[in-house]
Amino acid sequence: MLKELKAISKELLKTKRVDVILAYKRASDGVSAMPCFIFEEKDIDKMILDSYCVYNLSNYIKDFPDKKIGIVAKACDIKSIIVLLQENQLKRADVVIMGIECHGVIDEKRLCPGERPVQDIGFNEKCRSCKSPLPAFCDYLLKEEEERGKTGRASEGDGYASIRKLEAKSPAERLKFWEEEFSRCIRCYACRQVCPLCYCPKCVADQTDLAWFSRASNLKGNMSWNVVRAIHMAGRCVACGECERACPVGIPLMELNKKIEKDVKELFGYEAGADAEQKPLFTCFDKKDPEDFVK
């Protein structure tokens, strides 16, 4: 797969079909991966492709506003590219999607500090309910040469098992749960900065004139920030899991985002990032929109 990817990338740069390739390279620890930006053919050999390629590279599309971009993307990453297309943040002709077959990426937090053996790796939570190892929407589809043995995908139903556990709690218990989680928030905004769909030039959290929430990392400010961001992602979040991965204090942001994703599915029958031809959910109004939940 990597050989084919490198060949295609070389060709794309050579023919100037793209100005830059968003890909993965090896990080300084010799084990993890890191995003890399390739402008010249001679740098193509830096590219790597393995289970450490966790990052959603579509986050960097906003860094190259006037360029044609080639991007190495897993099925989950492509969903966010689809939302960017739906929201007119990107022209289809300006992006060349090289979709890669993926059977799971690692969960770095389950690895111990120090040695990181490649063999015994724990898979990312999001991979366990992934339905699509083969991306459907792409310009090039790169398949594995051999059959994969161990995969991270253990068809775990619809992926909402932990959400249902939370839903079963009483409102007071749920509030206690989230207050405990958000009390650790340090307002680093890593969740926002790694999200491909948080692209507002001036985030509501950064506005000082008026200031919408407290800048302090107290519970009130933290609740405001996290809840508002989740609501701004409603109907748009594709559950790529980057926000939870980036959070240094381990807040289970995916529980919140996936709960809203589940609600959106149940209330509106809509799934974010599924169809590039669809309009974004909350930008449209139709008399036939469901409203039986409006009391």
Partner 1 sequence: MFKAVGKKAFMKLMDSLSKGYEIAAPRKFSNKGVFYSAITDAGDIYLGAEFTVEPVKKLFLMPSEWLFENRFNDGKISLQGGVPPQEARKRIIIGVRPCEARGLELLDKVFCSDFKDSSYSKNRERSIIVGLACSKPDKTCFCTSLGSSPAETRGMDAIIFAGEESDEMMLEIITDKAREIFAPLEDAACEEHRKKLESEKKKIKDPVRKINIPDALSASFESGYWKEVSSPCVSCGVCTYLCPTCHCFDLVDEERKRLRCYDGCCFKDFTQQASGENPRPTKRERYRQRVFHKFDYFRKNFGEHLCVGCGRCIRHCPMKIDISEIAANAPKNK
Q: Which residues of the chain form contacts with partner 1 (CB under 8 A)?
A: 27-29, 32-37, 55, 59-60, 63, 109, 112-116, 184, 186-190, 192-194, 206, 208, 211, 214-218, 242, 245-246, 248-250
- Please say which residue, 7 or 249, places its beta carbon nearer to partner 1: 249
Distance in Å, CB of 264 to partner 1, minimum: 26
* Closest among 56, 86, 81 to 243, alpha carbons compared: 56
**Which residue, 140 or 199, is less far from partner 1 as judged by CB?**
199
25 DSSP β-pair partners: 34, 47
The residue type at 57: L
In terms of CB distance, is 113 or 149 closer to partner 1?
113
Min dist CB 72 to partner 1, Å, is: 14
Instruction: Give whichever of 155 and 207 is closer to partner 1, judged by the CB atom.
Output: 207
Q: Is the Cβ of residue 34 or residue 141 nearer to partner 1 in the bound state?
A: 34
Strand order across the beta sheet in which 20-26 lies? 33-38, 20-26, 69-73, 95-100, 140-142
Q: At its nearest, how many Å lie between partner 1 and the CB of residue 247?
A: 9
| Cβ at position 236, least distance to partner 1 in Å | 19
C-alpha to C-alpha distance for 149 and 171, rounded to whole angstroms: 43
Residue 244: its H or E element: helix 242-246
- What is the spatial distance between Cα 83 and Cα 273, in angstroms, rounded to a whole number? 5
Stretch (H or E) spanning 9: helix 2-14
Residue 109 or 174: the one with the smaller Cβ distance to partner 1 is 109
Amino acid at 128: R
Least CB distance from residue 290 to partner 1, whole Å? 37
| In the complex, minimum distance from the CB of residue 44 to partner 1, in angstroms, rounded to a whole number | 16
Three-state SS letters, 87-129: CCCCCHHHEEEEEECCCCCECHHHCCCCCCCCCCCCECHHHHH
